[in-house]
């Protein structure tokens, strides 16, 4: 190869090497910026979650589920935060508006025989029985071994159980220094009404944890302007077992005395 050609080739190689070095520098810088932005975003998200959870963290004299299904009660029991049963722990209460009305009325007329209708079978072991006054469903109280679609033979003992739970619940509202109420599914307006109702019933301090399930991938804090409410969104996929780690995170600093 001629000297001039060698010089030209060497010059080309140097230019090419310089070009790749500059490109690599900017690509590396771009990804560092993106990584930094991602880290900052994760930090801000964790901070928002922590700030939201500060509303409910701490010690409580009582913790109650307010529906809408058994999920809240299952998680409270799993985290040793359910030393005694609430009134609607194992019932279906799809509308928080009706639960709020139930609380306002201090359970007057709840599960009275005249308000009940047998809807069918909840499963092989239990009947599905509705309290039509409050639109709340019992699916764990009337076993199929002793009850039929025509006759609730165990009604007296079931009613006595609910009366005990109602009396304990109302007593805790009067005597507890701090109570946590946990509800899955509820709109802003429903939770606002619930906060107002509980403010009139609870003598001490209280907090409300609301978890709505929606199309999200992780915990999302809903910044509702309600003083005593922590409102979160959880993923709606496999909510019975798929969100156990999220429940662990939000309940790790919640304690029962």
pLDDT in tens, 30-48: 566 555 555 544 545 455 5
Q: Is 204 exposed, middle or buried (0-12, 13-18, 19+ CB in 10 A)?
A: middle
Residue appearing with tokens 């403010």: 199
CA distance 223 to 231: 7
More confident residue, 113 or 26: 113
As a whole number, the mean pLDDT across the chain is 89
pLDDT at 41: 47
pLDDT tens digits, 120-161: 999 999 999 999 999 999 999 999 999 999 999 999 999 999
Nearest residue to 141 (alpha-carbon basis) of 131, 129, 133, 123: 129
Per-residue pLDDT tens digits for 51-96 = 578 999 999 999 999 999 999 999 999 999 999 999 999 999 999 9
């Amino acid at each position: 190869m001629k000297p001039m050609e060698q010089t030209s080739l060497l010059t080309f190689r140097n230019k090419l090497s310089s070009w790749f070095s500059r490109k690599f520098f900017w690509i590396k810088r771009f990804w560092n910026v993106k990584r930094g932005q991602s880290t900052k975003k994760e930090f801000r998200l964790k901070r928002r979650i922590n700030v939201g959870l500060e509303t409910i963290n701490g010690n409580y004299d009582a913790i109650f589920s307010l529906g809408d299904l058994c999920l809240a009660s299952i998680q409270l029991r799993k985290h040793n935060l359910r030393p005694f049963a609430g009134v609607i722990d194992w019932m279906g209460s799809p509308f928080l508006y009706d639960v709020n009305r139930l609380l306002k009325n201090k359970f007057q007329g709840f599960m009275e025989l005249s308000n009940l209708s047998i809807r069918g079978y909840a499963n092989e072991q239990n009947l599905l029985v509705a309290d039509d006054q409050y639109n709340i469903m019992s699916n764990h109280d009337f076993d199929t071994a002793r009850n039929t679609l025509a006759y609730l033979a165990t009604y007296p003992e079931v009613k006595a159980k609910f009366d005990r739970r109602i009396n304990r619940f109302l007593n805790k509202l009067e005597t507890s220094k701090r109570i946590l109420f946990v509800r899955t599914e509820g709109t802003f307006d429903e939770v606002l009404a619930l906060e107002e109702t509980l403010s009139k019933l609870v003598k001490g301090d209280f907090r409300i944890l609301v978890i709505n399930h929606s199309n999200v991938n992780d915990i999302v804090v809903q910044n509702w302007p309600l003083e005593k409410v922590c409102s979160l969104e959880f993923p709606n996929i496999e909510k019975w077992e798929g969100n156990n780690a999220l429940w662990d995170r939000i309940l790790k600093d919640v304690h029962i005395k």
